[in-house]
Amino acid sequence: MNDRSLDSEDSIHLPIDGVLDLHTFKPSDVGTLIDEFILACLEKEIYHIKIIHGKGTGALRKSVHHLLERNENVENFSLAGGRSGWGATVARLIE
């Protein structure tokens, strides 16, 4: 079994623009990915972020919300509303 790590040579490099679409990642990657994304956004002075998790069964949304709750850099978060509805979460990071 070959596990891909975020630090491996075949890792995916994404532009940091405040939006993270989780559709391209394995659910097992989300735990470290969210924290790393938040730190990268803070480095770029991006304080409003959007995480697209999809609607599905709600399991991934619950995981994302749990990770945001425990992250000390997150001021608050909520479902995105509008067209994104239950499929995305927006968060405000502490400046």
The amino acid at 85 = G
The strands making up 19-21's β-sheet, listed across from edge to edge, are 19-21, 48-52, 85-93, 74-81
- For residue 4, the model assigns a pLDDT of 39
- pTM of the shown model: 0.83
Between the alpha carbon of residue 60 and those of residues 8, 75, 90, the distances in Å are: 24, 21, 14
- For residue 90, the model assigns a pLDDT of 97
**Secondary structure string (H, E, C) spanning 24-75:** HCCHHHHHHHHHHHHHHHHHCCCCEEEEECCCCCCHHHHHHHHHHHHCCCEE
pLDDT band at 6 (very low <50, low <70, confident <90, very high): very low
pLDDT band at 12 (very low <50, low <70, confident <90, very high): low
For the domain 46-95, what is the CATH code? Answer: 3.30.1370.110
